[in-house]
């Protein structure tokens, strides 16, 4: 009997060893040092604003967003916000959070992303259950498209109501920021100088509504594509330009073949870097 028990214990530790040697993700700090999840939560909970940069189709990104939010809620009162909701859909989102609109009604009245049911509904429903405000921070897509075609000047022609859904005009812009310069490089002559301006209109608007909904003493957690906050660029630049005293932290997701060591190109992208195995299945 003792022999069988020892054999079972050996199998347990062998299986556990294999499981530990093949994690789906590892958390790093900006310098590439491995960090525990608990330490990350302690640091994030000390901030005024946390920007979580995601891969839109990455299951680990979305799971971590929800877990980070739940665990930060244990330490702080929260306000949430997301790129995935455009500001002209704020009323519908508020009505859903207040129980005045059903999930089907929200789908009918707001322009929800195709992966909303699996990836963002859990965040919104957590906010609803906990009575947490949730800000629709993004510029309506049609107005970002106007900037892409005609530059910031094109926004001067939109209706007054529409201007209330975007950052106040004129929108500040620094074309030398790495994120915007990289966009021009990636387009390699196939796009206009207005393309990064359209990106900036999103960054500026998200920053503006983050600050509008920010409650002193609470932690604001914002969900956005990683490009909007990587390298402390994009949204971060606009937040710091408006209020440099804010305590900010960023989280991002990267994908690597070998996640045991963070690559040089992925270092310094954020304060905390969730390095995901590149074989992780995409959600779409």
Which positions ≥6 away from 272 have C-beta within 8 Å?
27, 28, 29, 30, 35, 40, 43, 44, 249, 250, 251, 252
Task: For 96-138, write each residue's pLDDT tens digit.
Answer: 999 999 999 999 999 999 999 999 999 999 999 999 999 999 9
CB neighbour burial string for 45-60, b if at least 16 within 10 angstroms, e if fewer: bebbbbbbbbbbebbb
CA distances, 47 to each of 34, 103, 115, 157, 251 (Å) = 21, 32, 29, 38, 12
Task: For 58-73, write each residue's pLDDT tens digit.
Answer: 999 999 999 999 999 9
Task: For 246-256, write each residue's pLDDT tens digit.
Answer: 999 999 999 99
- For the chain, give every domain's residue range: 25-277
Local confidence pLDDT in tens for the 284 residues of the chain: 544 444 444 444 444 544 557 899 999 999 999 999 999 999 999 999 999 999 999 999 999 999 999 999 999 999 999 999 999 999 999 999 999 999 999 999 999 999 999 999 999 999 999 999 999 999 999 999 999 999 999 999 999 999 999 999 999 999 999 999 999 888 776 668 899 999 999 999 999 999 999 999 999 999 999 999 999 999 999 999 999 999 999 999 999 999 999 999 999 999 999 999 999 988 88
**Residue 144 belongs to what H/E stretch?**
helix 141-150
CA distance linking residue 122 with residue 38, whole number of Å: 22
CA distances, 81 to each of 42, 193, 246, 258 (Å) = 21, 29, 17, 32
Q: Which CATH number fits domain 25-277: 2.60.120.430, 2.102.10.10, 3.40.50.11550, 1.10.1740.10?
A: 3.40.50.11550
Contact 61, 55 (CB under 8 A): yes
């Amino acid at each position: 009997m003792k022999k069988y028990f020892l054999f079972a214990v050996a199998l347990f530790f062998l299986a556990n060893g294999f499981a530990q040697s093949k994690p789906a993700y590892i958390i790093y700090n900006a310098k590439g040092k491995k960090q525990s999840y608990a330490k990350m939560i302690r640091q994030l909970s000390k901030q005024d604003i946390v920007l979580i940069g995601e891969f839109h189709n990455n299951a680990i990104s979305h799971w971590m967003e929800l877990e980070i939010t739940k665990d930060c809620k244990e330490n702080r009162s929260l306000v949430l916000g997301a790129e995935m909701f455009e500001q002209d859909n704020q009323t519908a989102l508020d009505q859903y959070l207040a129980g005045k609109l059903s999930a089907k009604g929200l789908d009918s009245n707001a322009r929800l992303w195709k992966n909303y049911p699996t990836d963002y509904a859990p965040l919104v429903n957590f906010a609803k259950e906990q009575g947490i405000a949730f800000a629709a921070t993004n510029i309506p897509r049609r107005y970002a498209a106007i900037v892409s075609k005609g530059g910031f000047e094109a926004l001067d022609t939109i209706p007054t109501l529409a201007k209330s859904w975007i950052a106040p005009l004129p929108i500040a812009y620094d074309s030398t920021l790495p994120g915007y310069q990289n966009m021009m490089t990636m387009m390699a002559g196939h796009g206009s100088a207005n393309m990064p301006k359209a990106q900036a209109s999103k960054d500026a608007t998200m920053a503006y509504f983050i600050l509008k909904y920010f409650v002193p003493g609470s932690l604001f957690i914002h969900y956005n594509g990683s490009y909007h906050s990587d390298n402390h660029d994009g949204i971060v630049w606009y937040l710091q330009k408006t209020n440099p005293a804010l305590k900010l932290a960023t989280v991002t997701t990267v994908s690597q073949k070998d996640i045991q060591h963070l690559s040089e190109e992925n270092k310094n992208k954020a304060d905390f870097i969730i390095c995901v195995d590149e074989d992780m299945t995409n959600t779409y």
